[in-house]
């Protein structure tokens, strides 16, 4: 080999290496959009599914919304094991009322988890570098279901249609940081004309290191503050409450960066509180409609070289049966948890 060939070889090799490092993996886009629907009643929730190839694993690394708040009130992307319907589009409202020509069912029939939420012209969400939701293959997510809430329908009166949705950014290259979502929530009932705390907590009982990076809160109209914590007991027996996220749940209900991304470990506990203010003369129960309430805190995280938590939900009985006080907690940040 002469000098020139050697040089050419080095140049080729360095181009190859720089491609490997700069373009760590190829990201492609998949359009998950409403198939030109024409909403015919206000406050309509529509769902449309895609089946993911079960013979191959994919990794979703980002979500790019294709919607404006003038058309879509909110969008949610669900991962499902089985979808709520076999139809191309169905009515899937939390607050769904029965409709003459569209069947009403949940977004998922089984294995439901929320992967992305959009509201009020929120920007796209890119997961941290090297993190992805594994879908397809032998994962529990075999379908992706897009839900769009159409609040107002005036603009469809002239016959125009809508294709709001999400461009999914994905790669086929296996990633070693897998994303997951843990949902903390409660049942229970809220007394009339009172401030009530809806509280949940649970322990991490799987030997994994969990890196939290985003959170989302959800209540209906009575929610004032939703806060979520990681609790770790010190050697002195004192519980250290670290705030993961806190906000007014009536601000856009999308995923926001966590306030503390320190890893969560085996033995840690997680807790969430929704501070609710009822000015109603009646009791308010947890339930799906706008007349009911919900208390949800979603935590999005990644784990390295491991599967996401088997535990997807952390639910308590809620008021008046369950409070943080019912647990062996100390040092509870009672004021801070309810104050914005």
Q: How many residues does the chain have?
A: 340
Tell me the number of residues near Cu ion by CB under 5 A.
Answer: 4
Give the active site residue among 34, 74, 142, 254. 74
Catalytic status, residue 294: yes
Q: Which stretch binds Cu ion (CB under 5 A): 138-146, 160-168, 246-254, 289-297?
A: 289-297
Catalytic status, residue 74: yes
Catalytic status, residue 317: no
Catalytic status, residue 211: no
Which residues fall within 8 angstroms of residue 320, CB to CB, at 6 or more apart?
188, 189, 191
> Judged by CB under 5 A, does residue 148 bind Cu ion?
no
Give the active site residue among 75, 198, 294, 300. 294
Catalytic status, residue 220: yes
Give the active site residue among 169, 211, 220, 253. 220
Distance CA 60, CA 172 (A): 9
Nearer to Cu ion, 77 or 294 (CB): 294
User: For the window 236-275, what string marks contact with Cu ion as x by the rule CB under 5 A?
Assistant: ----------------------------------------
Q: Which stretch binds Cu ion (CB under 5 A): 238-246, 259-267, 287-295, 325-333?
A: 287-295
Nearer to Cu ion, 119 or 175 (CB): 119
> Judged by CB under 5 A, does residue 149 bind Cu ion?
yes
Catalytic status, residue 98: no
Nearer to Cu ion, 27 or 153 (CB): 153
User: For the window 290-309, what string marks contact with Cu ion as x by the rule CB under 5 A?
Assistant: ----x---------------
Nearer to Cu ion, 59 or 150 (CB): 150
User: For the window 64-93, what string marks contact with Cu ion as x by the rule CB under 5 A?
Assistant: ---------xx-------------------
Give the active site residue among 147, 197, 211, 253. 147
Catalytic status, residue 218: yes
Residues that bind Cu ion (CB under 5 A): 73-74, 149, 294
Catalytic residue IDs: 73-74, 147, 149, 218, 220, 294
């Amino acid at each position: 080999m002469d000098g020139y060939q050697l040089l050419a070889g080095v140049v080729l090799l360095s181009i190859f290496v720089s491609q490997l490092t700069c373009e760590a993996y190829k990201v492609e886009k998949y359009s998950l959009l409403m198939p030109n629907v024409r909403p015919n009643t206000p406050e309509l929730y529509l769902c449309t599914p895609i089946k993911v190839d079960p013979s191959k694993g994919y990794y979703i690394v980002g979500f790019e919304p294709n919607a404006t708040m003038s058309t879509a009130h909110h969008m949610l992307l669900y991962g499902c094991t089985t979808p709520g319907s076999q139809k191309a589009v169905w009515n899937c409202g939390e607050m769904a009322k029965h409709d003459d020509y569209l069947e009403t069912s949940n977004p998922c029939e089984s294995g439901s988890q929320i992967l992305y939420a959009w509201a009020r012209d929120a920007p796209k969400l890119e997961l941290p570098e090297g993190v992805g939701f594994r879908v397809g293959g032998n994962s529990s997510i075999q379908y992706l279901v897009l839900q769009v809430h159409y609040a107002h329908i005036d603009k469809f009166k002239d016959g125009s249609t809508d294709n709001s949705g999400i461009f999914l950014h994905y790669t086929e290259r296996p990633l070693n940081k897998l994303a997951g979502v843990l949902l903390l929530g409660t049942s229970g009932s809220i007394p009339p004309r009172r401030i009530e705390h809806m509280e949940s907590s649970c322990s991490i009982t799987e030997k994994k290191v969990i890196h939290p990076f985003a959170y989302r809160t959800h209540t209906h109209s009575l929610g004032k503050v939703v806060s979520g914590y990681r609790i770790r007991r010190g050697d002195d027996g004192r519980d250290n409450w670290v705030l993961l996220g806190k906000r007014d749940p009536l601000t856009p209900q999308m995923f926001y960066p966590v306030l503390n991304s320190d890893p969560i470990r085996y033995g840690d506990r997680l807790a969430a509180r929704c501070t609710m203010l009822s000015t109603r003369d009646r009791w308010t129960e947890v339930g799906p409609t706008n007349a009911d309430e919900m208390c949800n805190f979603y935590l999005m995280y990644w784990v390295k070289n491991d599967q996401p938590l088997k535990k997807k939900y952390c639910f308590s009985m809620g008021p008046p049966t369950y409070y943080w006080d019912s647990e062996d907690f100390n040092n509870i940040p009672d004021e801070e948890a309810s104050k914005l």
